Amino acid sequence: MTERILFLALALSWLPVGGDEAERPNILWLSAEDIGPHLGCFGDPHAVTPHLDRLATEGVRFTHAFTTAGVCAPCRSGIITGMYQTSLGTHHMRCRAKLPDIVRPFTAYLREAGYYCSNNRKEDYQFVTPADAWDESGANAHWRKRPRKDQPFFSVFNFTGCHESGIANASKYRSVTSVLSEAQRQDPARLTTLPPYYQDTPTVREDWKRNYELITAMDYWVGDLLRQLEEDGLRENTIVFFWSDHGVGLPRAKRWLYDSGVHVPLIVSVPEKWRQDGQGSSGSRSDRLVSSIDYAPTMLNLAGVDLPGHLQGQPFLGPNLPPERQYVYGARDRMDERYDIIRMVRDHRFKYLRNYEPHKTYYQYVSYSEKGGTLREMRRLFETGKLPESAAGYFAPSKPAEELYDTQNDPHELNNLAADPQYRNRLRRMRAAQNAWAETTLDLGFIAEPLLDELERKYGSRYGILHRSGGREFFARLARAAADATAGAEKKAELLAALTDEEAAVRYWGAVGLANLGAEAGDAEEAVAKALRDPELVVRTAAARAMCRLGKPESALPVLVSVLETGSQWERLHAALVLDEIDAQARPVIKAMRQALQPRAELFSGGKYVVRVINRALNQLDGTDRAVR
């Protein structure tokens, strides 16, 4: 945020010479799904990407580009608005938030400046797209449909063929890669880039091979669109961006905040007439830290449009650039049916991760990701004791509260330095950066989702929850309680105090923290029992988990069953997840869990996630082979 303020102090209103539409550059976005920098121009020895390699020779490769999430929709909400998903409340995968009045897709500002804006075709912003966002958004959108040929355009084309489903689904893989010649196919036995956190088996190598071939198919697509641009005589007046929404669609990459999940390729080709101060010179490389949150302000800056004051990103091309970033930030929250709150800070060399739910395993059972061959293979090998530690560690029942990696000496981020005294100062500095980012941007991820829905209705938008009068004070108590919940028995008094806070979101963390203490919270049983009657069901659910951890499931189970029977979709999901976690203690309510599988009105708006979790829990409890619906 300091970087943003500095930019605003420096920025001047800028228009290209002449100031009319014809003097503004066209901008073309070519975006791909689910790939890391596995391209020839980024030094990958196996990549077959001639068109992107050529694009890189015409422009600049950004080697330190990162997304704000390891999954598409939360990240895309930030890209289109220039605001972190955790500030807007769009951080949970497959949620739907309401935008505050001050926030608009950046394309709305481009359209007001005279641009024709088209999107072909993926949106996936986690909010209803405002009517003024696009001139056209859909399968047929194209710059060629603008009403005047001299009108500047901003056009987006999205390639979905390299999505993780193209790896997991053999039929899609064959369809997408049907354009490849035999010489462009990969021999899985010859691939030398298999990450060490995978087990080297034929199944895993096949998935890795498919990833490369899908990327080559995507490169064909890039070449076709660049040819269309040249056919229209627009190449010398069009700035071309190529980027990916996040890392490769395989375990420990997609959905994660390691570099495998958030480090992405970014190539920008700027025609000479539009270069500022030598930016983007042909065949150049930039080590500047770039976040996907920076794309929106960069587009506006290149187009000569004043930047709205609420943007949280900063431009990295165009006139009057601010000082370079010191850090980029990221967040992981609910992935389909499983919650996990993780925050990331990265500088040029070091990566810091804060796990706010360390009591959860890394590889939680997310039904969609379990379809992939690599994860199924790794689970099978783990259960037979055949996984090496570099891979097996992700199946551990818990994870550390903090992780710190030297990405220069440990590019796969395997050696956690958080407990190493030699890196104590580095850890403190990056921890402070994460706390400052959460406070400055008002991170909504600390509010349990059922409460987030409720408070959105009260304050008009999720953004408004913490931007109201008293919101920052509320956030301070909330963030403190979330941190205390993983700090151990020394914070028991603070957790007990949180359990009586006026805000249910803070009380929730008090109950979560006492549950995490388990037997060490023994003398808090009376306070926890009182929380079983809390006005908010999600607080009751967290208290029920605490009672189970205290060895008192008999008082907790009726509460969980009641939430399953009467709660909203997200309240039910929280209860289902606790039942899944307590495993054998849930046996007395198997019948009630089966009844929860009965069709309900919200099944296709979140209730399906409850079904998946309960199915999984029942499979664990009684061994019945039950298909996940």
- The set of catalytic residues is 72
Task: Yes or no: say if 195 and 412 are a contact pair by the CB < 8 Å rule.
Answer: yes
Count Cα neighbours of 542 within 13 Å in the Cβ-side half-sphere. 29
CA torsion sign, 100 to 105 to 108 to 113? positive
End-to-end Cα separation, the chain, in angstroms: 43
Task: Give the ranges where 504-568 is alpha helix by DSSP (H).
Answer: 504-517, 525-531, 537-549, 553-566
Token pair recorded at residue 384:
């037979």
**CB atoms < 10 A from the CB of 386, how many?**
13
Which DSSP state fits 236? Answer: G
Token pair recorded at residue 619:
């499979």
Quote the CA–CA distance of 97 and 339 in Å, as a whole number.
17
Token pair recorded at residue 593:
């869990």
**Distance set, CA 484 to CA 402, 472, 522 (Å):** 13, 18, 17
Token pair recorded at residue 366:
């997310």
Phi-psi label, residue 318: left if phi above 0, alpha if psi -120 to 50, beta otherwise? left
* Helix 537-549 / helix 553-566 crossing angle, nearest 10 deg: 150
The Cα diameter of the chain in Å comes to 76
**Distance set, CA 386 to CA 154, 390, 444 (Å):** 51, 12, 40
Q: Which of 43, 67, 65 is nearest to 53 (CA)?
A: 43
Q: Is 132 exposed, middle or buried (0-12, 13-18, 19+ CB in 10 A)?
A: middle
Quote the CA–CA distance of 226 and 231 in Å, as a whole number.
9
> Which residue carries 């949180």 as its tokens?
498
* H helix or E strand, kind and range, residue 273: none
Quote the CA–CA distance of 570 and 134 in Å, as a whole number.
32
For residue 116, what are the β-bridge partners? 153
> Which residue carries 């700027």 as its tokens?
270
Residue 469 phi, psi (nearest 5): -60, 130
**Distance set, CA 165 to CA 172, 211, 623 (Å):** 7, 10, 28
CA angle 442, 443, 447 (to 5 degrees): 115
Q: How far is CA 145 from the centre of its chain?
A: 33
b/e code 542-560 from CB counts within 10 Å (16+ = b): bbbbbbbbbebbebbbebb
Quote the CA–CA distance of 125 and 541 in Å, as a whole number.
30
